[in-house]
Structure 1
């Protein structure tokens, strides 16, 4: 997997102060996407053990209270990214259990592959759906278009008993 950008102190992409990783690779290529530079899998930098360790170290750094990790892109759930993302989210949950994980994807929950469902077991907030330029709304929090959904990932959602509980956005 490659990543396009890493922001160790971010207050835009989710609640609280966060670490944010923008991965490379996206098959959706939504018209009007604000992050087109991330579409190619080979753009950016190789996500290696050193980068993974940096994220863990930053999340555990007590000088800045970080609430968690945000994963965006590109698309973290894009096929070539899935193994590295699964390894990362498992590690974050193991080594930083007090941190939450937010993940943005153009895929919709109902159509997740088995690997994408595995990743769902380790995240706390999911923002799903392709960006639709015709539904763009600058007033929306944490999403660009009104078709995109924000979910608190709970046990029912993880088991795919989708009594979809969308996150209340104040």
Structure 2
């Protein structure tokens, strides 16, 4: 697996200050993709043990809320196989920090055997992710007012609740939670 970029103070791709990894390789080829260079599976640098250790070091400060996985396409089968050992280490070392992931595939395809993105480890990877933003970017549905996504067809899924309940549960921003009616 290769990666195109690491952001160590990312505030655009999830709640709080995050460390983000942009993996390389994508077969979705969304029209007007903001990073078409990442479609190439060999774009950037190899994802090595040294890269993984660097990411774990970046995760250590208390002000880092979590890790975000983007692309390219993290759920290309070859990328899943490359990222799984790292996600397992990350969750073991930092169980209190959240993992967010972006994918152009929809969750239903990720979970269905026989689809392109589903492979022998997809369910394991999904179990390590807290929030999943799914769906291709669609230019005709572009909406700059949306939080953490580019087009209105994309969903922000609370993956832990979804997997526990067996149905899609959309994520709710805790900072925008209702305080209830004041008496």
TMscore range, shorter length: over 0.9
Which whole-Å deviations, capped at 9, do the CAs of 1:124-146 have from their partners, x for residues lacking one? 00000111111111111111111
The Cα RMSD (Å) is 1.4
TM-score by length of 1: 0.93
Q: Displacement, 1:68?
A: 0.4
Q: Displacement, 1:20?
A: 0.5
* Aligned equivalents of 1:151, 1:55: Cα separation in 2: 24
Aligned partners of 1:19 and 1:58 also within 8 Å? yes
Moved over 6 A (4+): none
* Aligned equivalents of 1:127, 1:73: Cα separation in 2: 12
In structure 2, relative to structure 1, the CA distance for the partners of 1:165 and 1:159 (3 Å cut) is: closer
Q: Displacement, 1:159?
A: 5.4
Q: Gaps (5+ residues) in structure 1?
A: none
Q: Gaps (5+ residues) in structure 2?
A: 111-117, 177-183
TM-score by length of 2: 0.86
Q: Displacement, 1:72?
A: 0.4
| Pairing partner for 1:129 from 128, 132, 135 | 135
Aligned length: 166
Higher Cα Rg, which structure: 2
Aligned partners of 2:129 and 2:160 also within 8 Å? no
Q: Report the counterpart of residue 167 of structure 1 in structure 2.
A: 171
Aligned partners of 1:124 and 1:153 also within 8 Å? yes
Map of 1:147-166 to 2, 5 A cutoff?
147-155=153-161, 157-158=162-163, 161-162=166-167, 164-166=168-170
* Aligned equivalents of 1:54, 1:61: Cα separation in 2: 13
